[in-house]
Structure 1
């Protein structure tokens, strides 16, 4: 199914002029990841897109602290009509009832500026950490989906597509993608998670999927129902 979808997405891609993708998130997305030996998946997204990616994710941040520190506002000052913003949080969020609120407020503010917003569910922790594959999503996955629906913006279940990418791999391989802890990925893991995001992007039919490069057709895997 993936290979059948790629040509359809690419058919809409012409000469791209001036559009940019901005990323808002935590260390699982950010440059440098969560410390030595790790990297955020956002650093690999530009390999799959025809337009520039500016990674404004920052380690250790929740949706709340990203808001209070003015980081959403910083992106708001940069975006112009037609740009894209991908928002992904959850790993550092604790107060559940505030999480969707901050995502919705940021998304709505960007839409008001003419940007196309996509809320993405958080990446999963090491699903093979216990030696038995665990596919149960974080509680923030459903909350991210709710926030996207309330803000009337696109949604990618990054968690589900990342789990689908991990599942066929040997336990030792998955473990090697988490060198320091069960959250932050090594560069190879970050690359895999970025590919999973792009698969979810194209399968979901987001406008951003129209800017996926031909090289992404090499990403194997079916669309999830």
Structure 2
């Protein structure tokens, strides 16, 4: 990252609280009589949460399904991007861009871990109890400087089973490190790793397959040779994880019941839509 970008990121992450109270930040858009901008749930994360282009369908990030579980008065700004870690998201200037749109009262959900595990890659890899926590603190500080509420979200589990059908954790020490940081910083924690691992155990190897990007050859024109992907989701899986996330927002007292909907109601896969561009 260049010195200029680092200086820019530092300046934005340390904005005084008074700046967040200016009219330009308290309302969305520029000029014009539209009234206050709706409260926004921002997502910083990786490919498990990210919006997908039409060329990737039926691959679906859980952030694409989260709006179905939030009241219409809330909007979702999904900044998650494939392949990013807590480190690379910041060093590419993506946290700066996210925070520029954050207003007082917004939520900032932070889910990283999958790519932080790639310690052989210096651009992405972090150590759970040192650099991972140090980068996560920057999200917490940045949200609080904008008078928004940071929410840490442990990474959703992969589809991995032992020979006896036991669902296996795959994220190493990163979930525990995030739990420890949340307790230290007094930040709400959505323990998606524990919730998803328990759910995959309930469903078993066969029951989880339709949730993940498992495709037979010829089933999808975007994946003509098929796929056996145990990390990324099909629409049903994204809906399931988004539902877990919404329930956790309620259970952890982050959102009241009036801000949520459909927690126990079906959400058809057909509701998912993909963008037309990569």
TM-score of the two chains, using structure 2 as the length reference: 0.67
Instruction: Work out which of the residue numbers 44, 56, 59 in structure 2 matches 1:38.
Output: 59
Q: Which moved more, 1:164-173 or 1:85-94?
A: 164-173
Conserved in 1, the CA contact under 8 Å of 2:144 and 2:150?
A: yes
SS in 1 for 2:262: helix
User: Is 2:221 aligned against 1:187?
Assistant: no
Aligned partner of 1:204 in structure 2 is 252
Conserved in 2, the CA contact under 8 Å of 1:128 and 1:174?
A: no
Conserved in 2, the CA contact under 8 Å of 1:25 and 1:88?
A: yes
More helix, by proportion: 1
Deviation at 1:170? 4.2
Aligned partner of 2:29 in structure 1 is none
Pairs within 5 Å for 1:87-106: 87-93=110-116, 94-96=125-127, 97-106=130-139
Aligned partner of 2:41 in structure 1 is 21
Pairs within 5 Å for 1:24-173: 24-32=44-52, 35-50=56-71, 51-93=74-116, 94-96=125-127, 97-128=130-161, 130=163, 132-136=165-169, 138=171, 139-173=173-207
Q: How many residues align?
A: 203
Structure 1, unmatched stretches of 5+, are 1-15, 220-225
Separation (CA, whole Å) in 1 of partners of 2:206 and 2:150: 36
Structure 2, unmatched stretches of 5+, are 1-35, 117-124, 215-227, 267-278
The RMSD of aligned alpha carbons is 2.3
Conserved in 1, the CA contact under 8 Å of 2:165 and 2:204?
A: no
Higher relative contact order (CA 8 A, sep 6+): 1
Deviation at 1:173? 2.2
Deviation at 1:189? 0.9
SS in 2 for 1:168: helix
Deviation at 1:209? 4.2
